Amino acid sequence: MLELIHHPLCPHSRFVRLVLYEYALPVRLIGERIWDRREEFLIMNPAGTVPVLLIEGQPPVPGASIIAELIDEKFGNAFSDRRLFPREPYPRVEVRRLMEWFNSKFFAEVSGPLTAERYKQYMPSDFGGGSPDYQVIRGARENVPDHLAYIASLLRKQDWLAGSGLTYADLAAAAHLSVVNNLDDLTWNEAEAAMAWFARVRSRPSFHSMLTEGWTGFVRN
């Protein structure tokens, strides 16, 4: 069985969980409070970030995109038309581009700041804890409409973000949006296509465990 070190409200962790669940790969989830800076965890991933995938007999695999590519290499061939990463080079480029968009750009502009500010009151002071900066929250909220409009533009001529089928691109985007949605900061305005797409992804069985997931037990003692 695979083991995934994660945090329930980390969008990168959610992305990897969606990948694992879509492929029906057995996984044991191990919650990690990264602000505890546990020595054992830092040995596995000196960057001190989640997610980290553990495979028996192999070195720890850190980082959402790296984990996703490894999963495709190890298990993708078995899923034929349900494969989440295209076989051909140029379609793979598009999926990678969109994964990067959401795991880096969207995270930097929206999901990262919102998550950090909403929960910094629970963090220790030496890990950036304190009162939320509502100016940062407002700035992140203001970035949401442009991203939703971009998602809607991708869906004008195709059913999914990177083409005709579900891919890592959709799962990465939905993982980040789900965190924002949990924080009640997601307003769709005129991005109806994006809203309908998100509803389709959220209705998939792989998403069910995250719909009501909280973070009980992840605050500091």
What confidence score (pLDDT) does residue 220 get?
A: 45
Q: pTM for the whole thing? A: 0.94
Q: If you classify domain 89-208 with CATH, what class do you get?
A: mainly alpha
Q: State the pLDDT at residue 19.
A: 97
Architecture of the domain delimited by 2-78: 3-Layer(aba) Sandwich (3.40)
19-47 pLDDT, tens per residue? 999 999 999 999 999 988 999 999 999 99
pLDDT at 97: 98
pLDDT of 191 > 80? The answer is yes
Same CATH fold assignment for domains 2-78 and 89-208? no
Judge whether residue 121 has pLDDT over 90: no
Structural domain boundaries in the chain: 2-78, 89-208
Picking from 38-42, 130-134, 160-164, 182-186, which range would have the lowest pLDDT averaged per residue?
182-186
For residue 120, pLDDT over 70 is answered with yes
* DSSP secondary structure letters along 45-113: -TT--S-EEE-TTS--EESHHHHHHHHHHHHGGGGGGG-SS-SSHHHHHHHHHHHHIIIIIIIIIIIHH
